[in-house]
């Protein structure tokens, strides 16, 4: 779950140092006033006896073979040793209780999360591509609480936690990790692994666990696109091919390259968005819509705006449009003409 906590190893090491410090103080107290103690075996208390007495006293074992006999030693035990013993027990018992409490809280929190997690978006890989995908989702109306990240890198999980995104540390090719992230109830899965072979294995695993999820996969090489599609991906984006085309367009026509980069950059200039056909737009041609229509989605199939089969818009159609970034991508354009209602 999204949170920032101290490393368990560092916390354990810190508490171990505290316990050793308390034990050292106890040994020094007894060693300095060793004449105030008596050993039932030989009557004298040396350094080793001081260590032994400090250990059994702090742990409340108390065999009784070494005891304080002088008033000074007894007062030191009452007002110095007893607080040290209490502090030692607090550290010891507190550490145990905290481990149990944290584990209990984690289990309860995980259980609550699983009960409400449904139709979420699972992002596998929180690198540059994964973060950009999440930012685009959030910018287009997806709730932060509906995004879950899986990544095998500790730093990526820390980044997701800092972004307040639920995340799981592990390899997404492992079905147990996917089940922990509730892949079976996910609506969409975005795969942005660093290697194409990993992307294929992850896609296969996801598709086996969830037959209805919409899976989008990023691959580096164009030759791997058919293999990823056969593995169950609904859409495949070739990252190296896309970057290469953008570079080529920018070299041939800097203006065209600038426009394409503008379309791919969220929050500036123009945006590409999908929205439903409004009631007043039914029966009209795509060219009559206030937005710049690029494609029409009908019955799950994408048609170009000039396709004769979508020359007239129908109820239930969706439009792929280009519109100013300042407008909400999925909402109706403000000031649209209502005269033909």
What is the band of 6 on the pLDDT scale with cuts at 50, 70, 90? low
What pLDDT digit, counting tens, does each position of 169-217 carry?
999 999 999 998 889 999 999 999 989 999 999 999 999 999 999 999 9
CA 196 – CA 126 distance, rounded (Å): 16
Given this model, what pLDDT does residue 58 score?
80
Given this model, what pLDDT does residue 266 score?
64
The label of the residue with tokens 């800092």 reads 162
Within 13 Å, how many C-alpha atoms sit on residue 37's CB side?
A: 25
- Asked whether the beta carbons of 310 and 282 are under 8 A apart, the reply is no
- Asked whether the beta carbons of 100 and 126 are under 8 A apart, the reply is no
What pLDDT digit, counting tens, does each position of 68-126 carry?
888 888 888 888 888 888 887 777 766 666 666 665 666 676 667 667 778 899 999 99
What pLDDT digit, counting tens, does each position of 288-337 carry?
888 888 899 998 888 988 888 888 999 989 998 887 877 655 555 444 44
- Say whether 305 sits in a helix, a strand or coil: coil
Given this model, what pLDDT does residue 88 score?
78
CA 180 – CA 256 distance, rounded (Å): 45
CA 331 – CA 141 distance, rounded (Å): 10
Given this model, what pLDDT does residue 340 score?
43
CA 77 – CA 114 distance, rounded (Å): 53
What pLDDT digit, counting tens, does each position of 24-35 carry?
888 898 888 888
What is the band of 3 on the pLDDT scale with cuts at 50, 70, 90? very low
Q: What is the dihedral of CA 157, 161, 167, 173, to 10 degrees?
A: -10
Given this model, what pLDDT does residue 104 score?
62
What pLDDT digit, counting tens, does each position of 258-297 carry?
887 777 766 667 778 788 888 888 888 988 888 888 899 9
- Say whether 85 sits in a helix, a strand or coil: helix
The label of the residue with tokens 């994964």 reads 130
Report the 10 Å Cβ neighbour count for 206.
27
- Asked whether the beta carbons of 266 and 139 are under 8 A apart, the reply is yes
CA 167 – CA 185 distance, rounded (Å): 16
Given this model, what pLDDT does residue 336 score?
45
Q: At what angle do helices 239-252 and 254-264 cross, to 10 degrees?
A: 140
What pLDDT digit, counting tens, does each position of 221-263 carry?
888 989 999 999 999 988 766 767 777 767 778 887 788 777 7
Dihedral sign (CA 133, 138, 142, 147): positive
Given this model, what pLDDT does residue 45 score?
85
CA 275 – CA 333 distance, rounded (Å): 10
The number of angstroms, rounded, from the C-alpha of 328 to the middle of its chain's C-alpha atoms is: 27
Domains, the chain, ordered by start: 8-115 (1.10.287.70), 121-243 (3.40.50.720), 270-341 (3.30.70)
Pairing of strands 292-298, 166-169: unpaired
Given this model, what pLDDT does residue 292 score?
85
């Amino acid at each position: 779950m999204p949170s920032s906590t101290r490393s368990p190893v560092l916390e354990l090491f810190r508490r171990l140092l505290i316990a050793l410090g308390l034990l050292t103080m106890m040994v020094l107290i007894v060693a300095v006033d060793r004449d105030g103690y008596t050993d039932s075996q030989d009557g004298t208390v040396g350094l080793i006896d001081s260590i032994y007495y400090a250990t059994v006293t702090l742990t409340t074992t108390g065999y009784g073979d070494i005891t304080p006999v002088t008033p000074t030693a007894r007062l030191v035990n009452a007002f110095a040793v007893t607080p040290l013993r209490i502090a030692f027990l607090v550290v010891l018992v507190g550490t145990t209780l905290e481990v149990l409490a944290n584990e209990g809280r984690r289990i309860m929190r995980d259980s609550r999360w699983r009960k409400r997690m449904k139709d979420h978006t699972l992002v596998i890989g929180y690198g540059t591509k994964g973060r950009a995908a999440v930012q685009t989702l959030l910018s287009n109306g997806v709730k932060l609480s509906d995004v879950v990240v899986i990544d095998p890198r500790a730093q990526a999980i820390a980044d997701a936690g800092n972004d307040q995104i639920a995340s799981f540390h592990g390899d997404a090719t492992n079905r147990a990790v996917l089940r922990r992230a509730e892949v079976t109830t996910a609506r969409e899965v975005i795969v942005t692994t660093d290697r194409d072979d990993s992307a294929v294995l992850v896609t296969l695993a996801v598709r086996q666990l969830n037959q209805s999820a919409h899976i989008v996969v990023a691959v580096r090489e164009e030759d791997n696109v058919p293999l990823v599609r056969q593995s169950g991906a609904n859409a495949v984006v070739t990252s190296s091919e896309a970057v290469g085309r953008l570079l080529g367009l920018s070299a041939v026509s800097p203006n065209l390259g600038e426009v394409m980069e503008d379309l791919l950059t969220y929050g500036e200039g123009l945006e590409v968005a999908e929205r439903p056909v409004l009631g007043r737009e039914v029966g009209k041609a795509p060219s009559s819509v206030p937005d710049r229509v690029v494609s029409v989605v009908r019955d799950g199939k994408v048609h170009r705006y000039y396709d004769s089969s979508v020359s007239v818009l129908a109820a239930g159609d969706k439009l792929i449009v280009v519109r100013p970034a300042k407008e909400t991508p999925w909402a109706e354009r403000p000031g649209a003409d209502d005269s033909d209602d």
